[in-house]
Amino acid sequence: MAIHDHLLLLVVLFSWTSSPVLAQYASSFPSPMSMITKTAYLNSWTQINSSVPTAGNTPFFWGRQDLGWMTAIRVDGTSYVLTASQNNFQLAQGLAAAITPTRSVFTMQAGSVNLNLTYISPIEPSDWVLQSLPFGYLAIDIWSADDKPHSVQLYSDISGQWISGNQGNVMTWSTTTTAKSIYHQAARQQKAAMGEIQGFAEDSTVYLAVPLSTPFVTHQTASFNVSRSIFAENGKLDNTANTTYRAIGKDYPVLAFAADLGNIEKTSSPIVFALGLVRDPVVTYRKNGALENRPPLFRTRWKTETAAIDDFLANFSNALSRAIDFDTKIMSDAGKVSGNYSDLVAASLRQTMAPLEFTTAPNGDFDGDLRVFLKDLGTTDRINPVDTLYAAFPAYLYLNTSLAGHLLEPLLEFQSSSGYTNAYAAPDLGTWPNALGNTTDQKAFAVENCGSMLIMALAHAQKSGDGTLIQKYYKLLKGWADYLVTNTLVPTGYLSADNTSSTTSNLALKGITGIWAMSKINEALGSTGTQNNLTQSYLATAKDYAKQWQTRAFLGDHIASDYGSSTNWGLIYNLYAPKLLNSDLIPENIFDTQASWYRSQLPKGLFDAIYLLILRTH
């Protein structure tokens, strides 16, 4: 489900009621809520209940299965579970939840203290090495509910459920103390390189880490019941390791930390945990005909996980300030459209960055060889799917225009190789983690994909001022534009990204905008006679088609979904593309009329229902 299609639409929808609303947190948000989501497999969620966090719910990987991550607090000798569940622990009470683009905050009460659990999935659009680090934070602030000091201990553990989709697989684990931190790690005893079961990577290592400065920190690895009982009993762990390596689901070995905060009225700084899921290499990519296994970009700054974890924890307060600044800017920019829009952005922006893997060359060519891959985490596991990229592209352009180019490049690179012979654009690069290219017959989506690729290629060049991609892949782009000239005006037999043939107006508009984009690409690259003629020729065709499109699609008071049909209408979200490209291809009055139509068709109640539906299904 591509929420971004709806986000684009919402920009249009909301544009008639823009009253700036500046809020730090979203006023409504979906359930489930994200805990930490970063990179293709570090993906954790929890179900909340009517905007209130609920202790006792097991975290899970979106659309897949349960994850083992339990957090608990012991207050005046009584133990309360905060996330996940455990026999003989009380359940903390959820008070409130809040969400920003990078953070989910759960406010809970346990006995006589209140606490905030803040899960941070850093978004670092200006530092891709940091963005590529598959780690997030859990920061816990505690304050007394009755202004009196209370005896407080914290606990958190992870199980092997992160590292395999099959709990019969054997895991091994260890605990390491560095000069700055302590961390646990666990992995399959026999990793399956590039393997996946039930959507879980079979070649990952999971980490849980704390700074060495954590108050009276203790650790243990043991069966979940043993470790948690010892904490409940003593408020600390035994600093021992049961190293009987066994199946993930055999008595569920857990890797645990406890911190003893003593008698406190409040924490002066948060207690911080880092959770990470590391894979190396992350994808197999076909480059210049050869397959290569590509390491994550963070390797260029940190040779070892130890070094990465030490810096990640040491930099917590910087990372938190960056996250707050980033959130404030996003919420402020989105709030200028509307409050509802900033809610949607708060709930979805993390997901546009989370599925990205930044990779570098196996040989250590760090500068010239960055490739960025997006995993469709919805249901398909496709790599750099064109429809998803198109929908999310405005977000990438907003965050960092160069990033948008790095997402396009692998698609362009593969399709300009001899391995690709289709006359139209491919839908994706294959299925995660094998970016081998997709040469299957996807002709039904040819207009859709050619149009999207041309629009994105021009949008990237315009917004970044960098013509490298359109120059390097000119021939490919021109081929796709020529395909559109023949096929887009009446796209009989073609399907849109929504996988339906009854949306010809929306699909044709994308193709026509693609031809217009080719005219601009051509114009940017050449001023010789032949080039000028081509520029004029694409421009004339696009203008002519746009006129014909209006005759066929525009009924005077709205755009029909399907040419000639007066009975159906729909979300013509490709109207956004001419706006994005600053094109005058479609006259202003069409936008105004269509906006009025939406308003007239969506009574307030229905509008609210759709808004909530989008939040629930994002």
Ligand X SMILES: *[C@@H]1O[C@H](CO)[C@@H](O)[C@H](O)[C@H]1NC(C)=O
DSSP run (H or E) holding 134: none
Taking the CA atoms of residue 484, residue 490, residue 494 and residue 497 in that order, the dihedral angle to the nearest 10 degrees is 80
Q: Which is nearer to ligand X, 47 or 550 (CB)?
A: 47
Q: How far apart are CA 276 and CA 325, in angstroms?
A: 23
CB 586, min distance to ligand X, A: 27
Report which of 590, 588, 488, 505 is spatially closest to residue 541, judged by C-alpha positions.
488
User: Closest separation between CB of residue 61 and ligand X, Å?
Assistant: 21
Of residues 123 and 130, the one with the C-beta less far from ligand X: 130
Between the alpha carbon of residue 438 and those of residues 205, 414, 494, the distances in Å are 29, 9, 19
Work out how close the CB of 264 gets to ligand X at its nearest, in angstroms, rounded to a whole number.
13
Strand order in the sheet with 103-110: 93-99, 103-110, 113-120, 135-144, 271-278, 205-211, 181-188, 170-177, 246-247
Separation between Cα atoms, residue 271 and residue 153, nearest integer Å: 11
Closest distance of CB 127 from ligand X, Å: 5
Residue 225: CB minimum distance to ligand X, A: 4
Q: How far is the CB of 550 from ligand X (least distance, A)?
A: 26
Q: Which CB atom, from 324 or from 555, has the smaller least distance to ligand X?
A: 324
Nearer to ligand X, 177 or 533 (CB): 533
Per the CB < 8 A criterion, the answer to whether 132 and 158 are in contact is no
Contact residues for ligand X, defined by CB under 6 A: 21, 27, 49-50, 54, 87-88, 96, 98, 105, 107, 116, 125-128, 130, 141, 143, 223, 225, 242, 244, 251, 311, 314-315, 318, 338-340, 343, 382, 400, 402, 427-428, 430-431, 438, 440, 442, 499, 529-530, 533, 607-608
Tokens, residue 125: 């659009």
Q: Which is nearer to ligand X, 90 or 223 (CB)?
A: 223
Hey, what are 28's tokens? Answer: 């409504």
Residue type, 580: L
The helix/strand/coil state of 78 is strand
Residue number with CB closer to ligand X (526 or 550) = 526
User: Shortest distance, CB of residue 428 to ligand X, whole angstroms?
Assistant: 5
Nearer to ligand X, 36 or 98 (CB): 98
Nearer to ligand X, 148 or 564 (CB): 148
Shortest Å distance, C-beta 20 to ligand X: 11
Spatial distance between the Cα atoms of 398 and 255, rounded to a whole number of angstroms: 40
Q: Answer yes or no: are the C-beta atoms of 282 and 383 closer than 8 Å.
A: no
Nearer to ligand X, 318 or 363 (CB): 318
- Least gap, CB of 414 to ligand X (angstroms): 12
Strand-pair category, 69-75 with 78-83? antiparallel
Which of helix, strand or coil describes residue 179? coil
Q: Residues 87, 90, 95, 99: is their CA dihedral positive or negative?
A: negative
Task: At 285, list the tokens.
Answer: 């990519």
Distance from C-alpha of 11 to C-alpha of 291, rounded to nearest angstrom: 41
Answer for the pair 368, 381: CB distance below 8 angstroms, yes or no: no
Nearer to ligand X, 155 or 554 (CB): 155
DSSP lists the bridge partners of residue 49 as 52
What is the smallest separation between the CB atom of 12 and ligand X, expressed in angstroms?
Answer: 15
The rounded Cα 93 to chain-centroid distance in angstroms is: 30
Helical spans, DSSP H, in 359-445: 386-399, 401-415
* Measured distance CA(352)–CA(344) in Å, rounded: 12
For ligand X, give the closer residue by CB, 49 or 174: 49
Min dist CB 445 to ligand X, Å, is 7
Residue 154 to residues 117, 230, 270, Cα–Cα distance (Å):
12, 13, 11
